[in-house]
Amino acid sequence: MARLGVNVDHVATVRQARRTVEPDPVAAAALAELAGADAIVCHLREDRRHIQDRDLTLLRQTVNTHLNLEMAATEEMLRIARQVHPDRATLVPERREEVTTEGGLEVALNPDAVGKAVQRLKEEGILVSLFIDAEPDQIRAAREVGGDLVELHTGPYAHAFGTPAELREFDRLMAGVRLGLELGLRVAAGHGLDYHNIKRLARVAEIEEFNIGHSIVARAIFVGIHQAVREMVELLRGGG
Ligand code: PXP
């Protein structure tokens, strides 16, 4: 069964709407772990729109499973990663004006810059994942720059879900999964996944982990975080 990484950014989004202390993403992470999450994911953005430095510090102290920090490959974030030492760093592109991470990291056109960031993180003993589109050029470049894993961007599949383009996007994703494995990379996937579109992907044994945020936090508002995480774990087990 694939592992589930629960992204708690949007718990912080609700808190930041009032610049108050609740709901706390650190508490959400603990509850998600108790409900069966295999990893906790958070994205410390340059503009600090949701996760704050304090959250990351506390998550490092309290996460018992695996802390996966999504970050841009900037000097500031590399310095923070060195201090906080997450179990894994996932390099993502970041643009201030975007609502969420829109496309994958452009590795093929920037192998030197990305490669330097990968090396600096690996020197600290941090596992490095690259969030990229399921494109052959990007996957090959991720291998060349020394990434340990790729997280393939499932946004196009999620967007196409329920439309005639669904199978085409699924096949494109699968070709990316196979290429990653052939090149010796570990393969995770994420973005835009929910309780419906996960079912097809959950059957793909080659994907070792799914990272899911928005749909779990959205469901947690109504059913509580324990049940929201449990239901996703059940779907990954093939029980949906
Ligand atoms: N993986 C990566 C690299 C992401 O940037 C995000 C969004 O922060 C996710 C997974 C989770 O996406 P979603 O919130 O749509 O489930």
**Mean pLDDT (whole number) for 68-90:** 98
Q: Give CA separation, 205 vs 126, 134, 161, 209, 219, in Å.
A: 25, 17, 20, 10, 26
Report whether 117 contacts 73 (CB < 8 A).
yes
Handedness of CA 33, 36, 218, 128 (dihedral sign): positive
Whether 70 is a known active-site residue: answer yes
The domain that holds 33 is classified in CATH as 3.20.20.70
Residue 211 CB–ligand 1 contact under 6 Å: yes
Alpha-carbon distance of 162 to 82, in angstroms, equals 42
Mutate to test the pocket of ligand 1, among 99, 100, 197, 229 (most ligand atoms within 8 A of CB): 100
What's the CA gap between 144 and 94, in Å, rounded?
22
User: Which of 159, 190, 165 is CA-nearest to residue 177?
Assistant: 190
Main-chain phi, psi angles of 111, to 5 degrees: -60, -30
Phi/psi-derived region of residue 76, left when phi > 0, alpha when psi is between -120 and 50, beta in every other case: alpha
Q: For residue 6, what pLDDT is reported?
A: 99
pLDDT the model gives residue 238: 87
Task: Give the mean model confidence (pLDDT) for residues 26-38.
Answer: 98
CA of 212 to the centre of ligand 1 (A): 6
> What's the pLDDT band for 96 if we cut at 50, 70, 90?
low
Per residue in 48-70, pLDDT (tens digit) is 999 999 999 999 999 999 999 99
pTM of the model: 0.97
Q: Which pLDDT band, with edges at 50, 70 and 90, does 122 fall under?
A: very high
Ligand 1 in reach of 65 Cβ (< 6 A): no
Output the average pLDDT for the chain: 96
Res. 240 pLDDT band, cuts 50 70 90: low
Range of the domain at 60: 3-237
Question: Based on the structure, what is the number of domains in the chain?
Answer: 1
Cβ–ligand 1 distance for 197 under 6 Å, the answer: no
